């Protein structure tokens, strides 16, 4: 029997949506106010879903204490109250869209040792959320 476990975490960070491959005008046109040279911030909610069999001895898919510590070390501590463009190495080159943030968080969590990472969902605002489940299937 496989069960999915989803746990929610929070961090606050700022970013600027800006591509060095585009002109200032193209960036403004594409990203609008999100291309503001001074950046802007969000209070992100991140849902991490792991899956696996229920361990008979514990009755759990994953130990929440271990999952919480892993996510804190790999995601919350490196991203919380950071300017993503400058303080997180991956976003010195990649545009820190929430789509890319979702993929980066997935990459950081995929090696959780006791259950398979099934997906990462990020709520950026009340109107925007993004989900990534790895490269196992093509999006049509």
Marked catalytic residue, from 66, 87, 90, 124: 124
Marked catalytic residue, from 34, 66, 90, 99: 34
Q: Is 124 marked active-site? A: yes
Q: Is 81 marked active-site? A: yes
CA distance 66 to 64: 5
Cβ–Cβ < 8 Å for 27, 19: yes
Best CA proximity match to 78, nearest among 105, 118, 48, 46 = 105
Please provide the DSSP assignment of 36-78 as one string.
-TT-EEEEEEEEEEEEEEPPTTTS-SS-HHHHHHHHIIIIIHH
Marked catalytic residue, from 74, 81, 131, 138: 81
Count of helix runs (H) and strand runs (E) in the chain: 5, 5
Cβ–Cβ < 8 Å for 11, 76: yes
Which residues belong to the active site? 34, 81, 124
């Amino acid at each position: 029997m496989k069960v999915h476990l989803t746990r929610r975490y929070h961090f606050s960070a700022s970013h600027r949506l800006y591509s060095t491959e585009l002109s200032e005008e193209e960036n403004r046109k594409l990203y609008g106010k999100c291309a503001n040279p001074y950046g802007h911030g969000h209070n992100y909610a991140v849902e991490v879903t792991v899956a696996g069999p229920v361990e008979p001895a514990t009755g759990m898919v994953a130990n929440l204490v271990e999952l919480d510590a892993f996510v804190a070390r790999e995601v919350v501590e490196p991203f919380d109250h950071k300017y993503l463009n400058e303080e997180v190495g991956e976003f010195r080159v990649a545009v820190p869209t929430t789509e890319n943030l979702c993929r980066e968080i997935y990459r950081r969590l995929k090696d959780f040792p006791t259950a398979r990472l099934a997906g990462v969902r990020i709520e950026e605002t009340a109107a925007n959320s993004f989900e990534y489940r790895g490269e196992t299937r093509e999006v049509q």
